Structure 1
Amino acid sequence: MSGIILLLQFIAAVIMLPLHILNFLGFWDAIIKKLFPLFYNKLCETYNKSMDEHKRGIFSNISDFSGPSKELRLLEVGCGTGANFKFYPSGCKVTCLDINPNFQKFLSKSQAKNDHLIYERFLLASVDNMTSVADGSMDVVVCTLLACSVPNIPAILKEIQRVLRPGGAFYFIEHVASTDESSWTGFFQKVLNPSWSLIFDRCSLRKTTWKDLENAKFSELNLRHITAPTSVKLIGPHIIGYAVK
């Protein structure tokens, strides 16, 4: 089976040869950083419709984690286009963080549509190095569809725990590797992952993010596996939930 997977990976790489050449020459990263937000903006419209029930369910208790002042300070890492804003409670103070500045024009449109929130600031930074966010300064951190493109998930979880106050919560929705290695989804995730990662800005189909969350030192972890109602079966396997510091 591994031989078949390697052969199919090679065929996919040949089909994507022009992109691999651009990547080898050092041009592809700049190109994808500009193109990916355009694609992701469209994807989020479709994804939000299919995931609306799940998102409303998971974010329904965010207000429970308001701080002693009753204000809710929320940091969304990898905020992208701001697709989660409509699910946050009114008056929530939101700080946005993303490593790609090309998302900002889409982010501004989402902020204008969701004026029930208070937008504190936008930080251009990597989630594994949030030096501009103070220790224990956030009640809630939200991360959706980001872990798939981060090389070191334990590092980002450590940073998230650092910026959360004691008793604060980390909310997550992530597509992950299929837990059934013998399934067609698992098979094609293995075959297409190298080319997929190149096309979709380092996104991996094979992340086992739930294991990193289980190994992180949260006081409470509420995590469940679901099959997302998305037309792209490769990203159907999801984990969804929240963890308490």
Structure 2
Amino acid sequence: METSVLLLRVCLALLAMPIYLLSFLGIWKPFCEKIFFPYFLEKLSVIHNRKTHRQKQDLFRNLPEFASTSGELKLLEIGTGCGTNFQFYPAGCRVTCTDINPHFQQTLTRNMKQNQHLRYERFLVAAAEDLSQVPSGSVDAVVCTLVLCSVLDVDRALREVLRVLRPGGVFYFLDHVAADRSSWKYFWQQSCFPTWKLVFNGCCLTREIWKNLEQANFSELKLQHISVPLTWTPIKPHIIGYAVK
């Protein structure tokens, strides 16, 4: 099995050799962050939203229940990207957007204009592991979809989520994860891992993010494993759910 994985990794690396060369020359990363990844993510988000529309509706159905005693709901979205989750948030919700990549502005602005039922507070350029611009205990809800797969430190990101949430606040998550280790899906994830991570801006295919969530200090965790029918991709296995501080 290990030999087969190694051989497939070499084959994929050879196919992606121009990207590896651009990366070696220091050209790929800025090009990826500014042009390729925003374009790719916009296209993927449309498909992913269509495939997970019902699950997202169910996921965010209880979001109004976590509004503060004044009835106001303050929401922080980590890794907002193109803003594809806006349509699922309740009217009047005050949204603060964050992303480590500032180059999503065009699509993000378009989605904001299409979702005028929300109140947009500000956009912060920030990594999930460092939300120091957000005061502790200041938000009712945190949302993070298709982000924990690519952060540098999942546990540190979850600690930041807990810090910014008020007591009783909620964290919503949806992300692709590692398949069962005995499955062919996991074999393909292992095989694609190095090239996929390089091409798609640090996205990791084999993270068992549910374990990080189980070990975080949430008082309640509702988590479900699902399969999203994304044809010909190694990112079908997902987790979805919410956790209460």
1:39 Cα shift?
1.2
Aligned to 1:147, the other structure's residue is in SS state coil
CA distance in 1, matches of 2:208, 2:105: 29
Whole-Å separation in 2 of the counterparts to 1:61 and 1:190:
36
Counterpart of 1:113 in structure 2 is: 114
Per-residue CA deviations over 1:36-66 (Å, capped at 9, x if unaligned) read: 1111111111111111000000010001100
Distance 1:145 1:114 in 2: 21
Match of 1:183 in 2: 183
Matches within 5 A, 1:76-87: 76-87=77-88
How far off its partner does 1:232 sit?
Answer: 4.0
Amino acid in the other structure paired with 2:6 = L
- Separation of aligned partners in 2, 1:146 and 1:217: 20
The more displaced of 20-29 and 204-213 is 20-29
Whether contact under 8 Å (1:51, 1:229) holds in the other structure is: no
Aligned residues: 244
2: CA distance, partners of 1:182 / 1:241: 24
Displacement of 1:175 in angstroms is 0.3
Task: Determine the C-alpha separation between the residues in 1 that align with 2:128 and 2:73.
Answer: 20
Aligned partner of 1:66 in structure 2 is 67
Q: Using the alignment, how far apart are the partners of 2:209 and 2:173 within structure 1?
A: 10
Q: Does 1:216 align with 2:227?
A: no
Q: Measure, in 2, the Cα distance between the counterparts of 1:233 and 1:30.
A: 25
The whole-number CA distance in structure 2 between the counterparts of 1:149 and 1:114 is: 27
Tell me what 1:97 maps to.
98
What is the Cα deviation at residue 231 of structure 1?
2.0
User: Which is worse superposed, 23-32 or 113-122?
Assistant: 23-32
CA distance in structure 1 between the partners assigned to 2:19 and 2:43 by the alignment: 22
- How far the C-alpha of 1:138 sits from its partner, in A, is 0.4
Q: TM-score, normalised by structure 2?
A: 0.98
Letter in 1 for 2:38: P
What residue is the counterpart of 2:240 in the other structure?
A: 240
SS of 2:128's equivalent in the other structure is coil
- 8 Å CA contact 1:185–1:233 kept in 2: the answer is no
Question: Which residue number corresponds to residue 2 of structure 1?
Answer: 2
How big is each residue's C-alpha offset from its partner over 1:200-225, in whole Å with a ceiling of 9 and x where there is no partner?
11101111100000000000000010
C-alpha separation in 2, matches of 1:197 and 1:23? 12
Q: Give the secondary-structure state (helix, strand or coil) at the position aligned to 2:80.
A: coil
Q: How far apart, in 1, do the equivalents of 2:8 and 2:228 lie? A: 26
Q: Aligned partners of 1:140 and 1:172: how far apart in 2?
A: 11
Shift of 1:230: 2.3
Give the aligned residue type for 1:217: N
* Aligned-partner SS, 1:61: helix
SS across alignment from 1:196: helix
Describe how 1:129-144 pairs up with structure 2 within 5 A: 129-144=130-145
> Residue type matched to 1:197 in 2?
K
Rounded Cα–Cα distance in structure 2 between residues aligned with 1:87 and 1:150: 24
Runs of 4+ off more than 3 Å: none
Query: How big is the shift at 1:233?
Result: 4.2
Distance 1:236 1:39 in 2: 17
TM-score scaled by length of structure 1: 0.98
Per-residue displacement from partner, 1:84-127 (whole Å, max 9, x unpaired)? 00000000000000011111111100000000000000001111
| Matching residue of 2:156 | 155
What residue is the counterpart of 2:196 in the other structure? 196
Q: Percent identity?
A: 49
SS at 1:59 equivalent:
helix
Q: Residues 43-58 of structure 1 correspond to what in structure 2 (within 5 A)?
A: 43-58=44-59
Q: Which runs of 5+ in 1 are unaligned?
A: none
The two structures, once aligned, show a CA RMSD in angstroms of 0.9
